[in-house]
Amino acid sequence: MNVTELLDMNGRVGCVTGAASGLGFAMAEALAEAGAHVVMTDVDAPGLDAAAARLRAAGLSVDTEVLDVSHLDALERVVDGIVARHGRLDAMFANAGISAGPGFAFGDAGRIGQIDLDHWRHVLDVNLTAATWSIKAAAKHMIAQQGGRIVVTASIGGIRAEPFVGYAYAATKSAMLNVVRQAAVDLAPHNVLVNAIAPGPFLTNIAGGRLHREPLIAAQFASAVPLRRLASPDEIKGLALLLASPAGSFITGTVIPVDGGATAAV
């Protein structure tokens, strides 16, 4: 198999949660550009429509489902519906996630004594429970077809102490790393590969687009990265395609940072 064939996604079907913008949009675009049909989901209906229109205008094959991943029954229905319509699901990207607010690097509001229980539970619902249910929903079909790829968006905030992020975010991203390892071993006999991407600071809309709006905050994040800059969402595309394509056929149970050297510098 040559390099072009290794990265070929023609005839494959993918699903990306949180695909209206940022990393999710870049992941969906990468799969579609490689030939896959991609189902894009997001809770932001207008943003999702605009994102899908942009990809269709480029001649790419996508459709959409408005989805709040914290509604677990709806999440499973969407995944079941993809298989019912297309006959298969080859790549599931459990990308949807939310911020837990600022970390203690930004002041007292991010310290442990200020954790709000309702917000804590909501972040766990989206970042941990829904991400795990995304694996569960996809695995059922991938076991039946004896193959598939599941990729979870984690964070370097789940690998190390990260003063820039809130406690619930750090807790959920750390927990998902071991869910990924557990699922990788569980599903390996079925040729279902499960991996996590751990981004460092990317210029996305998480936390309401704070990094776009506040250059001083963006500069603080960039100062912790050896490359001294934030990443563009497009810089996730290569790894996303590797993990979803035939090129990643012997990679499972891994957590791969994409962080400009931030974890190496600890």
Burial pattern 200-212, b for ≥16 Cβ within 10 A else e, equals: bbbbbbbbeeebe
Range in 25-29, 104-108, 156-160 the model is least confident about: 104-108
Q: In 3-state terms, the chain is what percent helix, strand and coil (to 5)?
A: 55, 15, 30
Instruction: Give pLDDT, residue 198.
Output: 97
Q: Tell me which DSSP letter residue 81 carries.
A: H
Q: How far is CA 132 from CA 6, 40, 188, 255, in A?
A: 28, 18, 17, 15
Q: Rounded distance, CA 122 to CA 98, Å?
A: 9
pTM for the predicted model, two decimal places: 0.94
pLDDT surpasses 80 at 190: yes
Candidate list 133, 164, 169, 202, residue with the active-site label: 169
> pLDDT over 70 for what percent of the chain?
97
Q: 41-66: per-residue pLDDT in tens?
A: 999 999 999 999 999 999 999 999 99
Question: Long-range CB contacts (< 8 A, 24+ apart) of 215-221?
Answer: 217/106, 220/105, 220/164, 221/164
Amino acid code (one letter) for 146: Q
Instruction: Give pLDDT, residue 206.
Output: 64
Instruction: Give pLDDT, residue 250.
Output: 98
Strand ranges for 31-81 from DSSP E: 37-42, 62-66
Q: What is the CATH number of domain 3-256?
A: 3.40.50.720
Q: Is 167 a catalytic residue?
A: no
pLDDT surpasses 60 at 176: yes
Find residue 202's DSSP bridge partners: 231
Name residues whose C-beta falls within 8 Å of residue 180's C-beta, 6 or more positions apart in sequence. 135, 152, 154, 194, 195, 196, 253, 255
Estimate the crossing angle of helix 45-57 against helix 22-33, to 10 degrees: 30
Per-residue confidence at 207, pLDDT binned at 50, 70, 90?
low
pLDDT surpasses 80 at 225: yes
Domain extents in the chain: 3-256
